[in-house]
Amino acid sequence: MVMEMHATEKKNIILGDGLCAYGTKLALENSIIFAPKNKSNHYKLNSKYRNASVLFNSGKKGLSNFYHGVTPLSILKNKKYSEVLKKINLNDDALKDIDKSGYYVPFLVPRPKIKKTLNLKNFDLEKNIENNLYFCLSVIGNINSLYKLNYLQETLISDDVVFSVGKISNKDFKEKYFDQLKTTKGTVFPCEYRENFTLSFRPVFFESVDMNYIDFKETFFKEISLKQLNEKILKSIFLRFGIKFIKVKYWECFIQKNIRSSYLFKKGKISEDKMFKKNLESSFEEAKNLIKSLNFISFKEKISNVSCGVHLGYNREILSKVPKNLNFFDTSLNKNHGHHPTIVAFCESYLKTVQKKNYRDLPALPEELK
């Protein structure tokens, strides 16, 4: 009996050219990619309670151009992702023997290698709605697409809030944590992971300064003193390569806390959610309690440097009524809220595309077995 194949006339069309789009492309033998052709500034939302929040970048490669490589060590040691990680050179064998809690920063940050694209402005969604579409336009871009397709009117958007909760002495830090561990491909830094939380440590060499890791101009080219400039340079080198040129004065304790109701998307507009202030204040208290539980003798509390993590997400149950040929890949794929999501999103985009592709390629069941 000859078994008919599922229809293969449908085109595989990827929208976007960031890391999720790259993961999808690697999983497909044939695809057409529509992406922005021009660079763009970050879209920011002003806030009364923190620095202006970066929500997305609608230009070429999006925010993937600004990703700084931070990845939880547990993700890189997860066997589920081992083959996928090889595709972006994040398979570091030296990590297998590290049994400490930490995050990894590669010397070469993975970037999406997508060269041939068609202009996203010329993509006709209505004409292509029956094809296999892979929306990789960032959380905000994908939610906007769902809104245009009438699958939602409003939804809450989560994000991590990042802030310093205080400082500890060099002695306290050294007694509890390793400084950093270097491999041939990158550096592992110590941190504490909790549900919805990451606690990490940043060295201070001269004095505490604000650092905006997604806006280079704001960090280095605004009006600052020579001492502040030196502090920022030394701190950046350490957090990128694990190299210290002078002795650390003390360590700042930085919290990354996921807030599920950070923003509200409603009828095409984005605003800070009305519960954000209350949730932010609760995060401060939770952070203080976490630090106290670690029994640092030298800890001095001071909430400062409050900013967004640019780790957006949403409840993926909103996709339950979306047809199976429409796929939405972004950092909402990360289930470990409060932990860095980028590489998880890349890996999941690849694996989910492979899973769907294999399902579509299965032969159809004979009529008598249906």
Q: How far apart are CA 256 and CA 274, in angstroms?
A: 21
> Tens of pLDDT along 83-127?
999 999 998 888 988 888 999 999 999 999 999 999 999 999 999
Q: How far apart are CA 6 and CA 56, in angstroms?
A: 37
> Tens of pLDDT along 295-318?
999 999 999 999 999 999 999 999
Q: How far apart are CA 88 and CA 224, in angstroms?
A: 37
Q: Return the domain boundaries, the chain.
A: 12-360
pTM metric for this prediction: 0.91
Residues 6+ apart with CB under 8 A from 347: 23, 75, 80, 81, 84, 85
Residue 203, H or E segment: strand 197-204
Residue 264, H or E segment: strand 250-266
Residue 269 pairs with which residues in a beta bridge? 266
Q: Classify 26 in phi/psi space as left (phi over 0), alpha (psi -120 to 50) or beta.
A: alpha
Sign of the alpha-carbon dihedral angle for 134, 139, 141, 146: positive
| Range 270-285 average pLDDT | 95
